[in-house]
């Protein structure tokens, strides 16, 4: 998701384009309660989370971010859904303001993230029968691994722009380099030294300037803080990939046991993980598939209104009110 540069670049000026903040809640109901705080989900992990709580929600949705994002990736979408649904998002360990335990206590592997997801749902007392999980990039495989363990973890899981299988040929060169040593060590070092280049260009790489979309300064600043501390977001990403092939192979071997309905959404122009990965997964599992024209690896940032629609569609006729 980056180039191995030796000199970090500054954030380029944003071109005129779609503003993620332009989507607004469609209901005139009273404003929901909004909470940004911390929740401890197990002895080693405390997560920063963002929760929107309307007075009478139809259901709950949990958003799971990718690299190098934080909870603020979901803020405009959460606001748009919050009149009708209870909306949750949390920072994965190693990202944002969540815990960053040493690797002797937490491996940052997809399977470890799956356990964190299970713990969060349990700790937050979410009703899985009326829960939609929307997961992208590094968040998607943990969601599916958790669903293998807990067949009733959600009413539907929406996943996209991720790597369910060990198919390096469909992945960006630097991501291929993270899959094994010694190349992974060089990529890790570059990621840690080129934070500004990663945050400036990851979301827009390969796009004409005129197609760049807006990222709030709050989101940009929050991601930048992820490089603070002994374990940076780049380190967490490196450790995730060091176990990635193992967990991909486990999922591929067991994916026929998955019971939760899955919808696959993919940016047609994703250069980091090509759409062929999503097509293969959908063809082999019978999952619903939506290829999003002209969008890249971050559809939820590039066209947030489509993500809002995907969530609403997952609830069908609107879901049941949680008070019912």
The pLDDT of residue 30 is 67
Q: Where are the domains of the chain?
A: 20-314
Number of H helices, E strands in the chain: 12, 8
Distance in angstroms (rounded) separating the CA atoms of residues 256 and 97: 36
**Closest to 134 measured CA to CA, from 273, 294, 304, 268:** 304
**Model confidence, pTM:** 0.90
For 176-186, the pLDDT digits (tens) are: 999 999 999 99
Least confident range of 7-16, 47-56, 113-122, 225-234: 7-16
Concatenating the DSSP letter of every residue in 213-262 gives ----HHHHHHHHGGG-SSS-HHHHHHHHHHTHHHHHHHHHHHGGG--S-E
Instruction: Indicate the CATH number of 20-314 among 3.40.50.1820, 3.40.50.300, 3.90.228.20, 3.40.50.2000.
Output: 3.40.50.1820
pLDDT higher than 60, residue 6: no
Residue of 231 and 7 predicted with greater confidence: 231
Distance in angstroms (rounded) separating the CA atoms of residues 221 and 226: 9
**If you average pLDDT over residues 266-285, what whole number do you get?**
98
Give strand ranges (E) for 54-119: 60-64, 86-90
For 62-82, the pLDDT digits (tens) are: 999 999 999 999 999 999 999
Positive or negative, the CA dihedral 15, 19, 21, 22 is positive
Q: Which two tokens stand for residue 11?
A: 């954030």
For 243-263, the pLDDT digits (tens) are: 999 999 999 999 999 999 999
């Amino acid at each position: 998701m980056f180039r191995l540069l030796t000199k970090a670049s500054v954030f380029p000026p944003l071109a005129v384009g779609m503003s993620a903040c332009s989507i607004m809640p469609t209901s005139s109901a009273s404003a929901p309660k909004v909470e940004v705080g911390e929740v401890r989900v197990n002895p080693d992990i405390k997560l920063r989370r963002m929760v929107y709580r309307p007075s009478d929600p139809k259901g709950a949705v949990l958003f799971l971010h990718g690299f190098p994002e934080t909870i603020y990736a979901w803020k405009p979408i959460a606001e748009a859904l919050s009149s009708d649904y209870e909306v949750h998002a949390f920072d994965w360990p190693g990202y944002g303001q969540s815990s960053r335990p040493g690797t002797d206590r937490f491996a940052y592997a997809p399977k470890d993230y799956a356990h964190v997801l299970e713990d969060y749902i349990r700790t937050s007392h979410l009703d899985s029968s009326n829960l939609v999980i929307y997961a992208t990039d590094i968040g998607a495989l943990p969601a599916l691994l958790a669903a293998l363990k807990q067949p009733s973890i959600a009413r539907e899981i929406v996943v996209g722009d991720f790597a369910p299988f060990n198919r390096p040929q469909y992945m960006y060169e630097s991501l291929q380099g993270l899959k094994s040593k010694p190349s992974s060590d060089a990529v890790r070092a570059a990621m840690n030294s080129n934070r500004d280049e990663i945050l400036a260009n990851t979301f827009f790489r390969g796009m004409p300037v005129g197609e760049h979309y807006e990222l709030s300064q709050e989101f940009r600043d929050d991601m930048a803080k992820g490089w603070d501390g002994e374990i940076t977001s780049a380190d967490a990403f490196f450790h995730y990939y060091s176990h990635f092939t193992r967990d991909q192979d486990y999922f591929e071997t067991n994916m026929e046991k998955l019971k939760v309905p899955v919808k696959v959404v993919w940016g047609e122009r994703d250069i980091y993980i090509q759409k062929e990965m999503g097509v293969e997964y959908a063809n082999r599992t019978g999952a619903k598939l939506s290829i999003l024209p002209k969008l890249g690896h971050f559809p939820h940032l590039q066209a947030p209104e489509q993500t809002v629609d995907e969530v609403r569609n997952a609830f069908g006729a609107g879901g049941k009110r949680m008070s019912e």
